[in-house]
Amino acid sequence: MFTTALVALDQSPAAPATLARLTDLSTWGIKKVILAHVVRVSYNQFAAYDHGENYREWLERCAEPLKKAGLEVTVCVRISGLVADELLAIAGEFDADLLLVGSRAHSRASTLFLGSVARDLIRKTTLPLFLEWVAPDAEDTGTEGAPPVTPALNQVLLATDLSRYASGAENLIRELSTEATRIDLLTVLTPDGLINTPALPVMAAAALNHIRDYLPGKPEQISVLTPKGSPAETIVRIASERDATLIIIGKHGQGWLESKLIGTTATEVCEAAQRPVLIAPLKKGE
């Protein structure tokens, strides 16, 4: 379903885990990879250009094991004051259909792991974005000996509010279900929703069962879940209880304001999930 991935990298402990995820994503159809880094422009322009060349050499070293694994790899270094915007421009130039970025908290005491670039990418992307969670205490092992990753499709949690804004996420689970081992289909029943629509539990279960019936894959287990609670908190809790290896969620939900560029539920899930999240924007025409 995906063929070309743009991988945003920097020389941080997030890099080895992000690169290791590419092996797993090759089962999703990834054949081409763009390893990209954007040097943020500083007051010293000449130092920035020199640093950019150092990054190119580092990315070339990162590319070697990927090439040996059969992937077509391109290295790209740019200099810009707007890192996320430049990464998205690179994705457009190379016709990438998936973004991969790793992020983690800068403080080990924090459970929040979104960096500023990751947050900007989530807010601005029109492409699916795979956010690789990296534990705050992860060590930088360099470009060699990247840690193994748990296959993302072992236990997938689709979080949907069943609105049209969630159709991107629902379409992704249909395409990925052929490779998934187990799938949980989740809709959170909010207090306001239950008050306004007493039949909501029955309606939500019916809608989730409809999604389940049309999944082309045959996972070992597909569960339909309709817990009550606040959306983000409940999604994170269920993901932990079910040991989800990937959360798929739409970029927007039915409660988002047109003046916002990303729904608050998606933001909060990415901040607190402590596991990979696949953000699915609404495609044109959906």
The angle that helices 45-68 and 14-25 make with each other, rounded to 10 degrees, is 40
pLDDT reported for residue 53: 78
pLDDT reported for residue 30: 95
pLDDT reported for residue 120: 86
pLDDT reported for residue 268: 87
pLDDT reported for residue 227: 97
Structure tokens at 131: 């956010």
Place of tokens 């063929």: 3
Q: How far apart are CA 222 and CA 201, in angstroms?
A: 18
Q: How far apart are CA 141 and CA 28, in angstroms?
A: 26
pLDDT reported for residue 108: 47
pLDDT reported for residue 42: 62
Report in angstroms the alpha-carbon separations of 217 from 155, 156, 157: 14, 13, 15
Q: What pTM does this model have?
A: 0.89
Q: How far apart are CA 230 and CA 232, in angstroms?
A: 6
Contact 5, 99 (CB under 8 A): yes
Can you list the residues of the chain whose pLDDT is less than 50?
A: 108-111, 141, 143, 256-262
CA dihedral 47, 48, 53, 54 (to 10 degrees): 70
Write the single-letter amino acid at 49.
Y
- The sign of the dihedral angle between the CA atoms of 278, 282, 285, 286 is positive
Relative to beta strand 277-280, strand 129-133 is antiparallel
pLDDT reported for residue 24: 92
Three-state DSSP class for residue 23: helix
